[in-house]
Structure 1
Amino acid sequence: MVRFLSQRRAIRFALAGASRVHCVLLLCAALATPMSWAEVGRAEPSASLQSPTGGWRYHGLNEGDGEARVAYPTPPIDRGALRGRSMIEGTLQNIGGVRPPHRLVVNGNPLPLYTDEQGSFARPYAFGAGSNSVELVAGEGQSLKRIQFYEANSLRTPARIRMVLGWDDPKAELDLHVVTPDGQHAFWSHPVLTNGGGLDVDSVDGPGPEMFTMTAPLQGTYLIYVNYWGNLGSEGYNFEAGSNQNEIITAQINLIFNENTVNEKRETFVVPLRAIGELLFVKSFNYAGR
């Protein structure tokens, strides 16, 4: 007991003239807990966004038409043909110990996010007029960065119907299929419909997003499907079972009505996919001009 009190007294005197880092090291030594300088000075996970930036902005519909719309990890390929999309580009730092997928939350829509080896990512989104938000969340649920910006171009009409598909396997390729009330079918080989709807983004490099948008929807019944098309490896696409990352792929579909308005409503559906070629019916709904 006397020895223990002497240790406490010695620690107290040592801490009185020590810096904060020295205090940590002295306490750890006294408690026989090993700790390295690297652990004491370990940087916390963080994130930066190159675009979009917070605040007020005015983006024309034709700006950036010549830019690549899908940027990692494969060469840019984009079958979507609707205009007015923006790139969400940024970097996650010091996330080596944080298990992916991380999340990119755009206007409340959570999407799995993977990065390249340097922590960089680039994802497209079709922002409407009004207030928009982008948030980066680490795999353990820690919010790293959040920005809010106001799109002042009133021609960027908010989506009356938006469907956003994301999935948690970067080595798998999933496709969003949407059938509109007039019988038209939007999917990867037919991305733009004559009724004004279509795929804003047909992501081909895993794990999404894929988005379907209509700013002036037809009244009637819509059908939503998800197809497990194939897998994606270093040598390109393949249809070899087991060449993806997860035994069960978790797909998340966000269905949003009147996005970015006071009348916004949303539903989220989570579905599992196991076998290449699997086509799952997700939802049918009737739109009556909400």
Structure 2
Amino acid sequence: MRSFLLLLIGLACAPALWAAPTAQLSEPVGGWRYHGLLDRSENPQVAYPTPPINRGIQRNRTMIQGQLKALGHMRPPHSLAVNGNPLNLYTDDQGRFARPYAFGAGSNSVEVISAEGQSLKRVQFYEANNLRTPAKIRLVLGWDDPKAELDLHIVTPDGQHAFWARPALSNGGGLDPDGVDGPGPEMFTMTAPLHGTYLVYVNYWGNYGDGGYNFEETSNQNEVITSQITLVLNENTVDEKRETFIVPLRAIGDLLLVKTFNY
């Protein structure tokens, strides 16, 4: 009888103990959307946890914000898949997160995936801003260490170099957002690409902690930083093509040529 009563008590408590993890997304809103950058002030909205997103050209940037709940023993990194581009997702102690992204025109999707691979929340929406031209070239960089600072570098066919100190190029290419607090994303887009050869580099610039940026070799979280670079051509069209590259970085100062491609 005692065992039977314990079993009943256990079953009664199970919903609380086994509550399924969930995710809430406050941005972007599902359905049709007609706006781009949400904050046009001189001090744009910040990424989590505190450092300002004060670089990049801030073109069409949107903050994807939300909260993960009832995660139990699940541990980060969780994943944020934006238009199929996977990014590591870290939260605060309450499960809250905010990551910047520059959406293109047309159909877009945002999905939160738990550390166990379970889809927690998916939002589909259509960006109907007629002033926005779809990206013909998009490069997305993310990495798996929130204490490391990685940078995306792009050299275009005319020899111009897009990176954190020169986010906007005269040929229409631009770096935005520029993740300054780890683990990204960093993103480069061109809507009217030049024909020729493009060079894609990733640089392990330094580390980031409570005291700001530093170059201490042991202040990163992971011994090997795993970066992921996704190249998308002709995004949101029937001619869309994509490639993903996994690149390990081990030491501050590492600069690796990830991809050479022609357009």
Q: Structure 1: 5+ residue runs without aligned partners? A: 1-6, 15-21, 30-34
> Residue 7 of structure 2 aligns with which residue?
25
> Residue 16 of structure 2 aligns with which residue?
41
1:87 equivalent to 2:69? Answer no
Displacement of 1:40 in angstroms is: 4.7
Q: How does 1:211-222 map to 2 (within 5 A)?
A: 211-222=187-198
1:29-71 CA distance string (max 9 Å, x none) = 9xxxxx5965552222110011111111211x56531263432
Q: Which amino acid aligns with 2:231?
A: L
Q: What is the TM-score with the length of structure 2 in the denominator?
A: 0.93
Q: What is the TM-score with the length of structure 1 in the denominator?
A: 0.85
1:251 to 221, 224, 227: 227
114-123 or 224-233, which deviates more: 114-123
1:149 to 116, 122, 125: 125
Structure 2 Cα separation of the partners of residues 146 and 140 of structure 1 = 16
Relative to 1, partners in 2 of residues 1:37 and 1:78: Cα closer, same or farther, differing over 3 Å?
farther
1:212-248 CA distance string (max 9 Å, x none) = 0000000000000000000111111111111111011
Query: How much identity, in percent, do the aligned residues show?
Result: 70
Larger helix proportion of the pair: 1
Say which SS state the counterpart of residue 157 (structure 1) adopts: coil
> Residue 40 of structure 2 aligns with which residue?
65
2:106 to 120, 130, 134: 130
Q: Which amino acid aligns with 2:69?
A: Q
1:92-142 CA distance string (max 9 Å, x none) = 112241121111111110011111122111111111221110000011101
Say which SS state the counterpart of residue 79 (structure 1) adopts: coil
User: Number of residue pairs matched?
Assistant: 261
Aligned-residue RMSD, C-alpha: 2.1
Displacement of 1:154 in angstroms is: 2.0
Say which SS state the counterpart of residue 41 (structure 1) adopts: helix
Q: Which amino acid aligns with 1:65?
A: R
Say which SS state the counterpart of residue 25 (structure 1) adopts: helix
Structure 2 Cα separation of the partners of residues 62 and 74 of structure 1 = 19
> Residue 32 of structure 1 aligns with which residue?
none
1:190 to 162, 166, 169: 166
> Residue 282 of structure 1 aligns with which residue?
258
1:239 equivalent to 2:221? Answer no
> Residue 54 of structure 2 aligns with which residue?
78
47-56 or 70-79, which deviates more: 70-79
Q: Which amino acid aligns with 2:185?
A: P
Q: Structure 2: 5+ residue runs without aligned partners? A: none
Structure 1 Cα separation of the partners of residues 91 and 124 of structure 2 = 22
